[in-house]
Amino acid sequence: MGTTPKMPYIGFNGGETTPRHTNLKQMTIIRDIATGKVRLSLVEDNAFLSAIQGLHSFVVDNNADCDMAYDWVCDQADISSFVADNYAWDMFFDVYSQAAELDA
């Protein structure tokens, strides 16, 4: 009986181990270059996506500036920050910019 080939673990821990999460193939991940640690981007988080879906209305209805909109998304998604997550920040800023243009 043959052995199953080992795949590199997504944590880049210096060795090869069997991956713990095989469903990460199509997900957006972020690797911290300094530590080598890997985490999922918030663009994969349902609470964050729900907050982004409501962001346009929030900005228009409340004449929200960028800081107010950022704080609202953090509150709605129950997170402390997402500024270091480039994918999440870009998603946020795209929606915020479109809403702010309509509100101007």
pLDDT confidence bin for 104, thresholds 50/70/90: low
> Coil, strand, or helix at residue 4?
coil
**Predicted local confidence at residue 6, as pLDDT:** 41
pLDDT confidence bin for 103, thresholds 50/70/90: low
- pTM, full prediction: 0.67
pLDDT per residue as tens digits for the range 83-95 = 988 889 999 999 9
- What is the DSSP-derived secondary structure letter of residue 38? E
pLDDT confidence bin for 34, thresholds 50/70/90: confident
Residues linked to residue 20 through DSSP beta bridges, in sequence order:
none
Domain ranges of the chain: 1-40, 42-103
Q: In angstroms, what CA-CA distances link 50 with 36, 44, 66, 77, 84? A: 29, 11, 18, 8, 19
